[in-house]
Amino acid sequence: MDLINHLFLGFSVALQPMNLFYCFLGVLIGTLVGVLPGLGPVAAMSLLLPATFHTTPVASIIMLAGIYYGAMYGGSTTSILVNIPGEAASVMTCLDGYQMARKGRAGPALGISAFGSFIAGSLGIFGLILIAPPLVDFALKFGPPEYFSLMVLGLMILTFLTSVSMIRSLMMAALGLVLGTIGLDNISGMARFTFNIPELLDGVGLVPLVMGLFGISEVLLNIELKVKREIFTTKLKGLLPTLEDWARSIWSILRGTVLGFFLGILPGGGAVIASFVSYAIERRVSRHPEEFGKGAIEGVAAPEAANNSAAQGAFIPLLTLGIPSNVVMAMLLGALIIHGVTPGPLLLMQHPQLFWGVVASMYVGNAMLLALNLPLIGMWVQLLKIPYSILFPVIILFCLLGSYSINNSTTDMAIMLVCGVIGYLMKKLSLEAAPLVLAFVLGPMLETALRQALIKSKGSFAIFFTRPISATCLIIAIALIIMPLLPWFRRRRPGATLEREDVT
């Protein structure tokens, strides 16, 4: 009964005209940045963060969340039509989506991608509604040792799942922790590594860092490519998948949904990993594995469903524990804090209208996306025809002005450029930026939790192993470090699978 009351509250908030408008704006911008290669949801959210200062916390979070799951929808369009993923979570959609398009089945590929995303998104929200409230009660038992161990586990999971080389991924996480210490110390107020630059007293900004590492570096990489994009000019028809398409895809969608949702919940998991793993599983369970990579509709349905449900699942650790599970959630954490809302177990009690309003808006947003994606595909295709030589100066300008507008500071622009060059070199050397950013965001929280726990235990590290939740998290984290050392496991590690996929 409580659940129905809460949902009623949520929809009454989400359906207010202002919130509906921001939801629409969010999913529209999300689809747009998902369609445009080089500009992902993180960059878009960074850019629009200052714009949300003028509105209510509920409306701003509704819009920013809309950008995230909207980008998941939009990313599939470029993957299918151009063989270029609009954002990272759509990489796997390229493999079969583009092949379907080459065979004249772009319509059903786009259709199943949109319907699969809708089904997964809706079921993901249902999961969020069911899991989040009990998890809040559980999270109230958390103290500094538990928070520290959970954040360590999140970082370990991310490095374990995403990277080809776990050592290098861990190196980037360590670098993120170092960067996170720049600025005033949370406990003593002492300035650290600021080099007498006043702008660094507040630390390195998340927006310049993220825009540099993800936005500018991507543009710099694209400058050296001489690939000419091939876009299908034939009129798209038959967007509705046939009954046979549905029969082949429905179980893939459901499997992708469940898998994506749980991978989304895991700190360090997320939409990208969910889409990779779901594709690998589909190929393994399929009766026609030889069709994968040649235009199997299951190869489009499963990763699209997985990345959308993961996008919903990722909200759970943020809204219940106050821990962002990925970079996008870190942006949302920043937005909540700016609005004076502290994410964590008390959020549900102190701001129920925000929690349930955002949850209900996701359902509304998913319905809007279905309406946007199918009829407006032609318009998105037109956008793809903009030459990259026009597009890339615009993306660069977005990043420069986005960094500047946070504090009206050219130092932030300079930091972003430096991060862009570092990000470019990192990509060249196969160093992952995601663990760096997640560690950078979690770093200050992790440090505070570690120091508080050590002060409480009078310097004994036993506190992390004598409390059950903390001990469980740390044991799993240690196991994740040890497992890649085992020769049998090294060949089967998800990172190794990604490497093989990449090569093929």
Partner 1 sequence: MKKTFLINDLIWIGISVLVCYGGLKLGFGSFHQPRPGFMPFLSGLILGLLALIDLISGLINHWPTEKRDREIWANINWPKLILTLGLLSLYTFLFSTIGFVTGTVLLLLFLFRAMEPRPWWVVITAAMITTAFFYLGFKVGLDSQLPKGFLGL
Residues that bind partner 1 (CB under 8 A): 50-51, 54, 165, 167-168, 170-171, 174-175, 177-178, 181, 185, 187-188, 190, 192-193, 220, 223-225, 387, 389-390, 392-394, 396-397, 400-401, 404-405, 408, 410, 413-414, 417, 421, 428-429, 443, 447, 450-451, 454-455, 458-461
Min separation Cβ 430 and partner 1, Å: 8
Distance CA 95, CA 102 (A): 11
Identify which of residues 12 and 165 has a Cβ nearer to partner 1 in the complex. 165
Tokens of 290: 């030889």
Identify which of residues 120 and 415 has a Cβ nearer to partner 1 in the complex. 415
Bridge partners of 192, per DSSP, are 183
Render the burial of 378-395: b for 16+ CB within 10 Å, e for the rest. Answer: eebbeebeeebeebbeeb
Min separation Cβ 230 and partner 1, Å: 18
Assign 3-class secondary structure to 181-194: CCEECCCCCCEECC
Tokens of 157: 């999971």
Min separation Cβ 454 and partner 1, Å: 6
The answer to whether 325 touches 266, Cβ cutoff 8 Å, is yes
Identify which of residues 362 and 438 has a Cβ nearer to partner 1 in the complex. 438
Distance CA 274, CA 282 (A): 12
Identify which of residues 277 and 413 has a Cβ nearer to partner 1 in the complex. 413
CA distances 487 to 21, 382, 482, 490, Å, are 54, 49, 11, 5
Min separation Cβ 264 and partner 1, Å: 28
Q: What is the DSSP string of 249-273?
A: HHHHHHHHHHHHHHHHHSTT--HHH
Min separation Cβ 388 and partner 1, Å: 8
Pairing of strands 191-192, 183-184: antiparallel
Min separation Cβ 120 and partner 1, Å: 33
Min separation Cβ 259 and partner 1, Å: 30
Identify which of residues 181 and 242 has a Cβ nearer to partner 1 in the complex. 181
Render the burial of 58-73: b for 16+ CB within 10 Å, e for the rest. Answer: bbbbbbbbbbbbbbbb
Nearest Cα residue to 76 out of 271, 221, 329 = 271
CA distances 246 to 112, 144, 242, 249, 251, Å, are 8, 48, 6, 5, 9
Distance CA 246, CA 248 (A): 5
Tokens of 414: 């300079």
Identify which of residues 295 and 484 has a Cβ nearer to partner 1 in the complex. 484
Min separation Cβ 172 and partner 1, Å: 9
Min separation Cβ 422 and partner 1, Å: 11
The answer to whether 109 touches 300, Cβ cutoff 8 Å, is yes
- Residue 293 is given by DSSP the state T
Identify which of residues 225 and 482 has a Cβ nearer to partner 1 in the complex. 225
Min separation Cβ 415 and partner 1, Å: 10
Tokens of 458: 């009078």
What is the CA 390 to chain-centroid distance, rounded?
A: 27
Identify which of residues 5 and 466 has a Cβ nearer to partner 1 in the complex. 466
Identify which of residues 293 and 444 has a Cβ nearer to partner 1 in the complex. 444
Identify which of residues 408 and 504 has a Cβ nearer to partner 1 in the complex. 408
